[in-house]
Amino acid sequence: MSRKSLLSQVDTGFLALLLLLSALGLTVLWSASHGAGGGVDPFAVRQLRWFALGIVALTVTASVDYRHLQNHAVGLYVGLLLLLAAVLVVGRVSMGAQRWLAMGPLRLQPSEFVKIGIAVLTAHLLSREVEPVPLGLRHLWLPAIAAALPAGLILLQPDLGTALLVTAVAGSIVLFHGIRRNVLLGLAGAAVMAAPAAWMLLKEYQKQRILTFLDPERDPLGAGYHIIQSKIAVGSGQFLGKGFLMGTQARLQFLPERHTDFIFSVLAEEWGFLGAFGVLALYGLLVLWGLDIAAKARDTFGRLLAVGVTSILFLHVAINVGMVTGCLPVVGVPLPLFSYGGSSVLTTYLCAGILINVRMRRFSRGL
């Protein structure tokens, strides 16, 4: 297929939806970083630069046939493992965690990109299977090991939320591809039985997060402060919200991490239930669009890859919103295109670039 023909296949609707969410995210971030005295932190300006870099990353990702990723899936995976190992040796420490690598003026979090890497590798491994689906246990050991290695390195940073996300992305692809019911029930039973041992392996602050999730009032000025203030912000927005730049929880700095993990609380306080529901509806449309791209992909690898990157977007939204509303423990998962952070922005745009790539080439046969 010629380059002109490929360009005519670009999904402009999906791209417009992505840019709309980016613009809304930048607007909320501007408000979240607006101080009580009228001063503005430079988060929104920096985020705009990351969006520009993200568009470049999306363009490059969409331009190269996604089937080349299948040929380099193992090399990409090994490279990401080496980056995770480098983080543990020379990574930047911030707020007690060692998760970032400094690359000149940029500070990147390799664990964010591992989610895409594990989606590529899992799709590659399962697309090679010649056995009819649903798959049995013997087909799952290699994807399980592939997910466990980076998850283990991420746990050492420590970053429990991202480690769980990496395994969840691989699990989403496996579930979509098909797994025997008895195997699924057996794995669920094994997870339940392993829960006590997993609890003993958690660090103390991670245990406190889970206990705080169950009872935020047990330490209202300490471990429970974040979620209590977040729920106050969400509830005080009521139906229509307090208005742009009028959120008192954010402007008076009662709400911690308001420009990163808890930015949805700022959105709910200022835009109310109506605005928050509208943004979630846009996210839902983005996810459904991604699943439609997966359903219409021309090969198994493309279909599973599209499911994997779509699951990354869905899991981030579901966990972040559940976290700030008290439905899930606080695990530090950003809200795509809204939370401040360059690695998160690039990961989201790379996922979008892959989806556009798969859509563009659904009629193409050659590499």
**How remote is the C-alpha of 123 from its chain's centroid?**
18
Look at 57-66, 102-111, 205-214, 347-356 and tell me which has the smallest mean pLDDT.
205-214
Q: Between these two residues, 200 and 163, which has the higher pLDDT value?
A: 163
pLDDT tens, 327-367? 888 887 899 999 998 889 999 999 999 999 999 887 665 54
Lowest mean pLDDT: which of 139-143, 221-225, 333-337? Answer: 221-225
Which pLDDT value is given to residue 36?
A: 45
Identify the residue with better confidence: 94 or 272.
Answer: 272
pLDDT at 267: 92
Cα–Cα dist 221/233, whole Å: 16
* CB-based contacts of 28, cutoff 8 Å, min separation 6: 263, 266, 267, 270, 271, 338
pLDDT above 60 (res 196): yes
Edge-to-edge order in the sheet of strand 97-103:
92-94, 97-103, 106-108
